Amino acid sequence: NAGVTQTPKFQVLKTGQSMTLQCAQDMNHNSMYWYRQDPGMGLRLIYYSASEGTTDKGEVPNGYNVSRLNKREFSLRLESAAPSQTSVYFCASSRTGEGSGELFFGEGSRLTVL
C-alpha cells in the first residue's frame, strides 16, 4: 500500500530559486494538506484542499502556492525560496464526512535553503 507519496525526499536550494514539491495519494481521499514541521513548533498548516478544484490558506501560507491537479495529486510550489522556508514538509490526506478525520501522512520532504 503506497498511501501518501511525496517527492523529492531531500532538496537543497539557493535563495531565490523555485521548486515544486509533489504529493500523490491512492486512498481516494477528498482532502489533502501541506504542513511544515519546525523544531519546537510542531506542524503548521500551509494550505489545504477540501476537494478537487478547491484550495484554501492555512496558518502559514505566505511564500507558497498550491495546485490540486486532480483528486490524487496536490503540489506545493515555492516561487522564490528564502532561508526561513528551510523545514521538513509533510503532505497528508483524509477522508471527509463521517469518521475520525484521521490524517495519513507522507514520509516528508526535507528542504534546505541556503
Partner 1 sequence: GEDVEQSLFLSVREGDSSVINCTYTDSSSTYLYWYKQEPGAGLQLLTYIFSNMDMKQDQRLTVLLNKKDKHLSLRIADTQTGDSAIYFCAEKESDMRFGAGTRLTVKP
Residues that bind partner 1 (CB under 8 A): 4, 40-43, 45, 48, 58-59, 90, 92, 100-103, 105-108
Nearest approach, Cβ of residue 30 and partner 1 (Å): 14
Nearest approach, Cβ of residue 7 and partner 1 (Å): 14
Return the number of the residue (78 or 106) whose C-beta is nearest partner 1.
106
Collapsing DSSP to helix, strand or coil, 47 comes out as strand
Nearest approach, Cβ of residue 50 and partner 1 (Å): 10
CA distance linking residue 96 with residue 59, whole number of Å = 20
CA 79 vs. chain centroid, Å, equals: 15
CA distance linking residue 110 with residue 20, whole number of Å = 13
